A and B are shown apart, each in its own frame.
Chain A
Amino acid sequence: MKGIGKALARTPFAVTSRIGMSKKSTDPEFDDYQRHFTALEQAADKLIKDTKAFIEAVTSLFTAGAGFAQHFAVIFQPIAGEYDIIGKHPEASQTIRSVTKLESAMQELRELIGPELELIDTRILGPAKELQSVMKTIRKTITKRDHKLVDYDRFNNSLTKLRDKKDKSLSDEKNLFKLEQDFEIATNEYEYINNALKQDFPRFMMLVTQFIDPLFNSFFYMQLNIYYLLLEKMNSFADETKYDISNAPGAQIMEDYESKRTDAWSVIENLGIIKRIVSVSRMVQAARSQSGPSSAASSLKAGAPPARSVSSSSGYKKTPPPPPSSSSQAAPPPYTPSASIGSAASAPAAAKRAPPPPPPLKPKPKPAPQIKYVVALYDFAAQADGDLSFAAGDRIELIEKTESAEDWWTGRLNGVQGVFPGNYVQET
């Protein structure tokens, strides 16, 4: 109640002084201190805000780092039933072997960083907040001083006005006496608090500097330690996985990346499934007009000649031996003889390539084998014992063939008997 009464009493003066009717006293020395103090207040607020932002950024850096490593690891591990990625992509073996190591390194790092952040929280953020609360009490004192100043000015004004009055009535004289008393009290109160502030401000400013020194030093070492932990982990990871992480300019990293980029980009871009469907019926039309019997599935290698998919619409179970294309890696799959007797799955080499087609149906011995010939369309070099090598154009005596050209057939050439992929030859 007292506060409200005071506030009411001060209001008229606040109005009149603002519109310039009453005089307002100033203390330049104090104002100077106050300006500094306000700057410090703002700085403390900013420090708290930015420290919080820093903690958040570090947390998210390490969370995201761990997440990145984790998802990368999943992508570079067999997905549901895949096998032997390294075998299929030997050039990526270093990455494949390292992904899980990075994952665990990042996970450990994330745990290591926790205590560091805790330190920042308690040793930096805590004291900074303390400082902020100290400043709040000082701010309160300043407000009080401002109020006292208002009182002082108010009484001072009234007093001057009354004194200047030419003919004073009896009550004026009484008031004058009372005002003089009030003015004296207000003066004392104001002077006291104003002097206290002026006296303590320099001391406080000095203390703030002393305060910020050790705080800054601590914070510095905490930050340094975060970088150090990360650096340590990266170094030990790189040691283990044989990566060269010597500090190179960013452009160098980009260049190395470009040089290691494979044609996977363009191969993916040629896939049919990443092209928008305009109209299915148009696709059907196109497929029909395209190379007669070959049905849809063969948008893979446009120029691959052998009719590899006569039976593809029905089953399409296995990856047939790839027809040779002009590119380099298109060697036909190696073949293990045991496949023909039905134990293909157990062959260790099977891991290396697409599963061979299932063994042919039990060959029915033909009563009167009539000699048939096929003509080789491509060169074929033996991949394993029992394979028949030949050059394009060779006439091969066909001993045994299956219904599908995607299978291994048996033939004889120059007295040598062996098996070969059926889609390498043409029946005469």
Chain B
Amino acid sequence: MSWAGFKKSVNRAGTTLLQKTGQIERTVDREFADEEAKYRIFEKECQALQKDSKAYWDAMKAMTAAQSRIAETLETFYGAADRSSEGAMAGHAYKRSVDDLDATFTRELDLPFRTTISEPLGKMNAYFPVVNEHITKRDKKLLDYDSARSRLRKLIDKPSEDPTKLPRAQQENDESKEMFDLLNDQLIAELPQLLDLRVPYFDPSFEAMIRMQAKFAEEGYEKLSGVQRYFADNVRDDYAAGQLDAQVEGILQEMRELSICGGN
């Protein structure tokens, strides 16, 4: 921090203190406070939205990647005994379709997702720090103005012997007010605009998101359901009836009865 900056921050700390103890009057600007509150909500929501959109995309990729790895493992299992069984064929078909889903699909949506969701959100979220800088600057200039004004008032109430003091205080007051007004007016005028523009800004992203979600569901469903052709006819019903679980349990039991498992 420069020396000037340091001086400023010390002075401002003093002003804040005097305001807290009620010695310097604080400017209350309802209008700005309202706009700022709304802006804060918007800022928070945008950040949450960005986080969730990233999590969504990552999860989509993680889901297909996990499926692809599971398919690979299945091949190992089938490789243990019989590579040409019906199960192995189905496992192979499954692997093909999830690989397809994992590679083709995510690659196809990678750019669209970035363009329609990540980029607009990232851009908007990148604006916030700058806007916040404006707000901070405005708050600081407000403190300067409050302090200059209170000095001016004191001089008016209790004129000093030095005749140059009053005009100087007047000038300081005017200058700090001008600075503050400049920042404040801009914020009050533009914060609502920014907020209002969010609607047309984000509007197309919504439809894109819906379409991509639907696409993900549809591709996933279609690619996977093709694998059923390789299943025995009764599998679907067996699954629905819980038969498959019973089979799994039965085989586990058989395994446990092997002499090499626990049986010495």
Cβ–Cβ contact A51 & B217, under 8 A: no
CA distance A88 to B133 in the complex (A): 29
Q: Is B1 in the interface zone, CB < 8 Å from A?
A: no
Given the complex, which residues of A lie within 8 Å of B210, measured CB to CB?
A: 102, 234, 237-238, 243, 245
Cβ–Cβ contact B258 & A204, under 8 A: yes
Q: Whose C-beta in chain A lies nearest to the C-beta of B185?
A: A297
Q: Whose C-beta in chain A lies nearest to the C-beta of B189?
A: A297
Q: Whose C-beta in chain A lies nearest to the C-beta of B69?
A: A50
Per-position binary interface string of chain B over residues 87-112, scored 1 when its CB falls under 8 Å from any chain A CB and 0 otherwise = 10011001000000000000011111
Per-position binary interface string of chain B over residues 234-259, scored 1 when its CB falls under 8 Å from any chain A CB and 0 otherwise = 01101100011101110110111011
Instruction: Evaluate whether A68 and B182 lie within 8 angstroms (CB atoms) in the complex, with A204-B258, A214-B248, A215-B248 already known.
Output: no
CA distance A390 to B254 in the complex (A): 96
Give residues 201-230 of A contacting B (CB, 8 Å): 201, 203-221, 223-224, 227-228, 230
Given the complex, which residues of A lie within 8 Å of B245, measured CB to CB?
A: 123, 214, 218
Cβ–Cβ contact A257 & B208, under 8 A: yes
Instruction: Evaluate whether A272 and B200 lie within 8 angstroms (CB atoms) in the complex, with A196-B260, A296-B181 already known.
Output: no
Please choose the segment from B18-26, B44-52, B148-156, B165-173 that sits at the chain A interface, where 4 or more of its residues have CB less than 8 A away. Answer: B44-52
Chain B: minimal CB distance from A54 (Å):
4
Cβ–Cβ contact B224 & A227, under 8 A: yes
Cβ–Cβ contact A54 & B251, under 8 A: no
Q: Is B9 in the interface zone, CB < 8 Å from A?
A: no
Chain B: minimal CB distance from A306 (Å):
16
Q: Is A383 in the interface zone, CB < 8 Å from B?
A: no
Chain A: minimal CB distance from B6 (Å):
17
- Most chain A beta-carbon contacts within 10 A, residue among B87, B207, B224, B243: B207
Cβ–Cβ contact A46 & B73, under 8 A: yes
CB within 8 A of B115: which of A254, A272, A284? A254
Give residues 240-274 of A contacting B (CB, 8 Å): 243-245, 247-251, 253-254, 256-258, 260-262, 264-265, 267-268, 271-274
CB within 8 A of B182: which of A96, A211, A283? A283
Q: Whose C-beta in chain B lies nearest to the C-beta of A200?
A: B260
CA distance A6 to B111 in the complex (A): 64
Given the complex, which residues of A lie within 8 Å of B78, measured CB to CB?
A: 209, 212
CA distance A295 to B180 in the complex (A): 12
The dominant DSSP class at the B interface is helix
Q: Is B7 in the interface zone, CB < 8 Å from A?
A: no
CB within 8 A of A57: which of B59, B76, B207? B59
CA distance A388 to B208 in the complex (A): 45
CA distance A254 to B63 in the complex (A): 23
Cβ–Cβ contact A63 & B55, under 8 A: yes
Cβ–Cβ contact A68 & B209, under 8 A: yes
Cβ–Cβ contact A137 & B261, under 8 A: yes
| Total count of chain B residues near the partner, CB < 8 A | 121
CA distance A249 to B187 in the complex (A): 42
Given the complex, which residues of A lie within 8 Å of B45, measured CB to CB?
A: 71, 74-75
Give residues 74-98 of A contacting B (CB, 8 Å): 74-76, 79-82, 85, 88-89, 91-92, 94-96, 98
CB within 8 A of A39: which of B34, B80, B254, B259? B80
Cβ–Cβ contact A214 & B205, under 8 A: no
Given the complex, which residues of B lie within 8 Å of A15, measured CB to CB?
A: none
CB within 8 A of B252: which of A96, A130, A141? A130
CB within 8 A of B206: which of A99, A123, A283? A99
Chain B: minimal CB distance from A282 (Å):
11
Q: Whose C-beta in chain A lies nearest to the C-beta of B196?
A: A88
CA distance A46 to B179 in the complex (A): 65
Instruction: Evaluate whether A295 and B55 lie within 8 angstroms (CB atoms) in the complex, with A75-B42, A216-B94 already known.
Output: no
| Total count of chain A residues near the partner, CB < 8 A | 125
Q: Is A36 in the interface zone, CB < 8 Å from B?
A: yes
Please choose the segment from A310-318, A366-374, A403-411 that sits at the chain B interface, where 4 or more of its residues have CB less than 8 A away. Answer: A310-318
Cβ–Cβ contact B87 & A213, under 8 A: yes
Q: Whose C-beta in chain B lies nearest to the C-beta of A237?
A: B210
Given the complex, which residues of B lie within 8 Å of A214, measured CB to CB?
A: 238, 243-245, 247-248, 251
Q: Is A67 in the interface zone, CB < 8 Å from B?
A: yes
Q: Is B178 in the interface zone, CB < 8 Å from A?
A: yes
Q: Whose C-beta in chain B lies nearest to the C-beta of A40?
A: B80
Cβ–Cβ contact B82 & A209, under 8 A: yes
CA distance A341 to B49 in the complex (A): 45
CB within 8 A of B186: which of A36, A98, A99, A296? A296
Q: Whose C-beta in chain B lies nearest to the C-beta of A221?
A: B239
Cβ–Cβ contact A92 & B199, under 8 A: yes
Cβ–Cβ contact A262 & B141, under 8 A: no
Residues on A facing B (Cβ under 8 Å): 36, 39-40, 42-43, 46-47, 50-51, 53-54, 56-58, 60-61, 63-65, 67-68, 71-72, 74-76, 79-82, 85, 88-89, 91-92, 94-96, 98-99, 102, 123, 127, 130-131, 134, 137-138, 141, 193, 196-197, 200-201, 203-221, 223-224, 227-228, 230-231, 234-235, 237-238, 243-245, 247-251, 253-254, 256-258, 260-262, 264-265, 267-268, 271-277, 280-281, 283-284, 287, 295-300, 312-313, 316-317
Apart from A43-B77, A79-B42, A96-B199: 15 A-B pairs, beta carbons within 8 A? A71-B46, A75-B46, A79-B195, A99-B206, A102-B206, A138-B258, A141-B261, A207-B258, A221-B236, A224-B225, A245-B210, A250-B110, A250-B112, A254-B208, A262-B201
5 residue pairs bridging A and B, Cβ less than 8 Å apart: A75-B49, A79-B195, A127-B248, A231-B221, A283-B182
